[in-house]
Structure 1
Amino acid sequence: MTVQPERVRAGAARSALTPYLRLLTVTQFAFNVGFYAVLPYLAAHLGDGLGMAGWLVGLVLGLRTFSQQGLFVVGGALTDRYGPRPVVLAGCVLRIAGFCWLALAGSTATVIGAVVLIGFAAALFSPAVESETARAAVAHEAGTGTPRAQVLAVFSAAGQAGAFLGPLLGTLLLFLGGGFTAACLAGALVFIGVLAGHARLMPHRPRTTTREPGRGRFPREVFANRPFLVLCLAYSTYLLSYNQLYLALPVEVERVTGSQSAIGGLFALSSLLVVGAQLPLTRWSAHRIAPRTALVAGLAVVSAGFAAVPLAPGGPAGLLPAATFVVLLTLGQMLLIPAARGLVPDLVDDHRLGLATGALSSVSGLAVLVGSAATGTLLGTPGPVLWTALAAVPLAGAALALALPRGGLARVPEGTGTD
């Protein structure tokens, strides 16, 4: 079938991101550049630079994670109450203050205060931006027919691009002799730019929320919503699986190479895969399979990644099992994340979207906290036992996801010419 140029241009114009969606996407990119310019070097700074004991380094890093993931639900609730603009701006201000404080912190108490402030800033910023992106993607889908998952894939790819470039920025600053302090100040500078951009461009009230009389304070629409809780549990199995990049993968790499020096290259491989393949993969899946199917398939691919480790050949190709795991985990992630985020607006009321977006991360973070302790006990078991047990986790999530509403395919805009 030949598509007329005029129809192609019309379809492209309808599917192009709105200025507001572009702002949110660039925000996600800048957020990760600033964040990952600092985070990869924090543990080394605490241990080598400040002389903290290993257990204390772990405690500090754990507090940062808890103050971020665990409090996403707070940021989501505040977004529903006050709108995204003040929550995003407050998150930027706190992140700037936290990075500046961390650059100067020299004692255990000041370091803990700085990292908790940095984590809480993200707990405000991220749910506001993510829920607003989901809402804008749904509106864009209704107006243009562009599948929401396709829009959310652009958002995810921008975040991964930032996660890839951020460590390079931090490494450059360290190489130039600026040290950890320079990386922190560079991260603060990035967030000053994000703050200025949102203060100028983010609408004061991009949406209107009508509060129905008689609603209780307890948000039953979210926490008593069985399909949403099923989504949270299924998504939790993915996050627990993703966490194995920091637990099981280093063990495997050290087993086959004698060191963990190849970890950085495997992480770069994952980020480059997302940057290069996220958009075409999501464009394909959004037009051909339902969101629930994409979520189930993504979890199944993640499970296959674990199962492949004891099956892939070792020997001269020692890193092949680890690389196979990273590739399949990343492919599964690219399928399931846009699908999961795109399902949230269909499962909860619009006026609770911020809370639901935050709850998705907080519930999953709690599951990871509990599940990581359990999976950590398996690290000393034989490889086939370890990787088979880990493969069962996302497989269980895929089975859970089958209980979700199937949903339908998004309407393909006329003139996009999928054939």
Structure 2
Amino acid sequence: MGTWRSLPALPRLLILTQFAFNVGFYAVLPFLAEHLGGTVGLAGWLVGLVLGLRTFSQQGLFVVGGALVDRFGVRPIVLVGCALRIAGFAWLGYAQAVWAVVGAVLLIGFAAALFSPAVESEIARQAVCWEEAGGGPRANVLALFTVASQAGAFVGPLLGALLLAVDFRAACLTGAGVFVAVLAGHFRLLPQHIPGRARTRLGGGVRPMLRNRRFLAVCCAYGAYLLAYNQLYLALPEEVERAAGSQAPLAWLFALSSLLVVVAQLPVTRWAADRLDLRRSVAAGLLAISAGFAVVAAVRPAGWTGIGGLVPAAGFVVLLTLGQMLVAPAARAWVPDLAEDGRLGLYTGAMSSISGLIVLVGSAATGSLLDSALPPAVPWLVLAVVPVASLVLLPRPQRA
């Protein structure tokens, strides 16, 4: 609360924005795989591909949104992104054909590719300004941002679970309604011009960025984290269905993850700031994520069901969440040290774009593994290896 009270109005608005974004988003997304596989009737590999396309159209196109933010500013990009998200959720609620589902999912993802780089790059810049003004470590502001994000992710699935008692369309239209409120609020409150944020031309920044090996290495590690996080929507629902006979416990596992972040993110960030540099924080988080997959892989051959069968899934969620609490604020705090002046939006977007490409390829591969006749532990073992393999790429940070 001390950090919150000391922040200016703009970073407070951005933190609350992230909360609202995730309430609308997570009222729909956790239940998308079941809707696609059950109501729409898509094969497992196609469900995985659609989820990967959603992530890639969001994360993969962040670089476009980030460049547009550097050129045109935060306000117009946020407003356009909200309008597109409203249209995408409404379309998804009525989509039945595969092409319509894919179109709606791509539109939903592209909307976030506009507004998320705007919000994330500006909160990172505001965090650096707050640190330079003597407010404290920048990671504290970014941890608050993560807490708001996960508080929204806590409320969203519970809201979506209630709305599914009506149908999936009700969840989609409610998500659209949340973004209508966000659009109206930001039209009124978001400043036209933000002091200290210079606008740059669109061209000229990509080539130096692609030669920045330190930045690209951090992107790959962040991509390994996002691929793991994406399994909350692909591998975890299948494991919950197998153990419990339905996906009813899924909303509670999402709530557990979000509640852990809300309660523990700030203490974990303070502990990491005192004892770990940025590289070690990211590395520790990736190791925790790998351990989460390993827990399920170790127990999966036993074929436990019922409450006992959900224990490994809960262990996976807890360890994945711990890894997220270590990786996400540290990686975001790292980017301003690696970006060129005036290109923070581009670099913020590019990190998500590169990691989104990793998720696209990895999600399709994971969907095929889950559909295969391989031993049930194999997909979880493969996923456990990915975060560990990415550790060797991490560079030494330029600052602690």
* TM-score, structure 2 normalization: 0.86
**Which range is displaced more, 358-367 or 243-252?**
243-252
Asked if structure 2 preserves the Cα contact closer than 8 Å seen for 1:15 and 1:145, the reply is: no
Which secondary structure does the structure 1 equivalent of 2:136 belong to?
coil
1:92–1:194 contact (8 Å) kept in structure 2: yes
CA RMSD, aligned part only? Answer: 3.0
8 Å Cα contact 1:68-1:122 kept in structure 2: yes
Residue from 153, 175, 194 that aligns with 1:163: 153
Instruction: Find the counterpart in structure 1 of residue 120 from structure 2.
Output: 130
Q: For the residues of structure 1 that align with 2:3 and 2:82, how far apart are their CA atoms?
A: 32
Q: What amino acid is the match of 1:283?
A: R
Q: Is the 8 A contact 2:297 2:378 kept in 1?
A: no
Tell me the amino acid that sits aligned with residue 319 of structure 2.
Answer: L
Counterpart position of 2:325: 334
Pairwise mapping of residues 400-411 of structure 1 onto structure 2 (< 5 A)?
A: 400-401=393-394, 403-405=395-397, 407-408=399-400
**Mapped partners of 1:29, 1:117: distance in 2:** 21
1:385-400 aligned within 5 A: 385-400=378-393
The corresponding residue for 1:303 is 290
Q: Deviations over 1:136-167 (max 9, x none)?
A: 11111111342111111111111111112112
Q: In the aligned structure 2, how far is the partner of 1:252 from the partner of 1:44?
A: 12
What secondary structure does 1:351 align onto?
coil
Match of 1:187 among 175, 181, 186: 175
Offset at 1:19?
A: 1.1
Counterparts of 1:172 and 1:354, CA distance in 2: 37
- Report % sequence identity: 62
| Higher Rg of the two aligned structures | 1
Alpha-carbon separation, structure 1, partners of 2:3 and 2:379: 50
Deviations along 1:287-323, whole A, 9 cap, x unmatched? 3321111111111222222333355696684333222
Alignment of 1:204 with 2:196, yes or no, is no
Alignment of 1:317-396 (within 5 A): 317-376=308-367, 378-379=369-370, 380-382=373-375, 385-396=378-389
Aligned partner of 1:95 in structure 2 is 85
Corresponding residue for 2:253? 266
Question: Is 1:118 matched up with 2:108?
Answer: yes
Contact 1:75–1:123 at 8 Å: present in 2 too?
A: yes
Q: Which of residues 262, 265, 278 in structure 2 aligns to 1:291?
A: 278
Aligned residue type for 1:405: P
Q: Select the residue among 10, 13, 27 that pairs with 1:37.
A: 27
- Alignment check: 8 A CA contact 2:296 2:316 kept: yes
Task: Note the alpha carbon deviations across 1:92-124, whole angstroms, 9 max, x for none.
Answer: 122223333444556555544433322211110
d(CA) in 1 for partners of 2:26 and 2:42? 23
Residue matched to 1:238:
225
Equivalent AA in structure 1 for residue 197 of structure 2 = T
Residue matched to 1:71:
61
The Cα shift of 1:47 comes to 6.1
Judged with a 3 Å threshold, the aligned counterparts in structure 2 of structure 1 residues 302 and 221 are, in CA distance, closer, same or farther, namely same
**Cα separation, partners in 2 of 1:45 and 1:383, compared to 1, 3 Å:** closer
**Which range moves more in the overlay, 332-341 or 299-308?**
299-308
Residues 286, 110 of structure 1: alpha-carbon distance in 2 compared, 3 angstrom cutoff: same
The 2-side partners of 1:102 and 1:210 are apart by 35
Matches of 1:48 and 1:256 in 2, distance apart? 18
Q: What is the number of residues matched between the two proteins?
A: 392
Q: Which moved more, 1:88-97 or 1:307-316?
A: 307-316
Q: Which amino acid aligns with 2:399?
A: G
Structure 1 stretch displaced more, 262-271 or 247-256: 247-256
Q: Secondary structure at the match of 2:342?
A: helix
**Which letter maps to 1:285?**
A
> Which deviations, in whole Å up to 9, do the C-alpha atoms of 1:355-384 show, x marking residues without a partner?
111111111111122233444555444456
TM-score, with length taken from structure 1 = 0.83
Q: Which runs of 5+ in 1 are unaligned?
A: 1-10, 409-419
Instruction: Give the counterpart letter for 1:221 in structure 2.
Output: P
CA distance in 1, matches of 2:48, 2:368: 17
- Counterparts in 2 of 1:116 and 1:210: CA distance versus 1, 3 Å: closer
